[in-house]
Structure 1
Amino acid sequence: MFDILMYLFENLVHSESEFRVDHDELTDELLRAGFHLDEIYKALAWVEKLAQLQETEAKPYLSRVAVPSSTRVYTPEEHTRLDTQCRGFLMFLEQVKVLDISTREMVIDRTMEIESNEFCLQDLKWVVLMVLFNVPGKEWAYEQMEDLLFEEQEGPLH
């Protein structure tokens, strides 16, 4: 499923080509690219849920957050999916204002829905980029994340 998300982002969205919303055409294109139908449906559902998260004013996951300076406590399932390096990277992105509470929770929500046995920091960076791309008003944050993803950093990030 994650491979399909990457394919969609790199080839249809990030390449600035017209993003097709016709599910049949998109499904056919993904089938021609060699992806399996059940994985295509899962990936398209993932993208639709991402769009729903940013379109609605109701943010059910934010009701758990007391104040912007609060500490995020991860569930056991989130600990399993997001290792120490991933959780540290999310904290770093908040500290440098690439993510706010809302976008952080969107990233965690979308990460938890990815069906993959292995999930690494590089995968998380792509999820962050996809989330920021889909949230209006986050152009600066998207550009910063794009720099973090595509530029090789020398030395520590702090």
Structure 2
Amino acid sequence: MFDVLVYLYENYWRPEACPEPDQLRRKLSAVGFESDEIRDALQWLDGLDDSGAPLLAAPARLSQRVYLPREEDQLGPEGLGFLRFLESAGVLTPELREQTIDRAMAAGDGPLPLDELKIILLMLFWSRGEEPDALVLDELFDVPEDRVIH
């Protein structure tokens, strides 16, 4: 599923640029994706529109999110730490955090690898037609093993 999402992110500037679902299915199939991967990805994308994430009035620094045990299991310690890092940096609003959690829970059984959580965040920005700032993009595309320590 995540390979399909990355393909969509890389090949379509905005969600509106994607073809109609039937044509998109055929196109993804022609590229080589399996039908179950395509189905799962398109169902997951449908959830972006109706994620039902509440809009929180309190600024992020005044609110605190208590995670349910199943959310902790799905996100894993690395994912939870990453979300907290983005929140403390002022990048992740409460609304975006809730949408991220909702889409992570819809991604299947956890724990979700950090790379897949980053793809979820990219897809949320993509679905809103927003380009994250350069520092956020750098963090989302960063591979810790590739870092050079000076």
For residue 62 of structure 1, the aligned residue among 48, 54, 68 is 54
Is the alpha carbon distance of 1:34 and 1:103 closer, same or farther for their aligned partners in structure 2, counting shifts above 3 Å?
Answer: same
Aligned partner of 2:47 in structure 1 is 49
Q: Supply the distance in 2 between the matched residues of 1:117 and 1:34 (Cα, whole angstroms).
A: 26
Q: Which amino acid aligns with 1:45?
A: Q
Is 1:114 the counterpart of 2:101? The answer is no
For residue 79 of structure 1, the aligned residue among 68, 72, 86 is 72
Question: Aligned ranges for residues 136-151 of structure 1 at < 5 Å?
Answer: 138-139=130-131, 141-151=132-142
Is 1:23 the counterpart of 2:21? The answer is yes
SS in 2 for 1:83: helix
Quote the RMSD (CA, aligned, Å).
2.8
Q: Which amino acid aligns with 2:115?
A: Q
Q: Supply the distance in 1 between the matched residues of 2:15 and 2:102 (Cα, whole angstroms).
A: 27
- Spell out, residue by residue over 1:91-135, the C-alpha distance to the aligned partner (whole angstroms, 9 max, x if none): 111111211000010111111111356521111111111112223
Q: TM-score, normalised by structure 1?
A: 0.75
- For structure 1, the 5+ residue unaligned runs are 54-59
Moved over 6 A (4+): none
Q: Supply the distance in 2 between the matched residues of 1:36 and 1:142 (Cα, whole angstroms).
A: 33
- Point out which structure has higher relative CO (alpha carbons under 8 A, 6+ apart): 2
Percentage of pairs with the same residue = 37
Aligned partner of 1:123 in structure 2 is 116
Is 1:38 the counterpart of 2:33? The answer is no
Q: Which amino acid aligns with 2:114?
A: L
Q: TM-score, normalised by structure 2?
A: 0.78
Aligned residues: 144
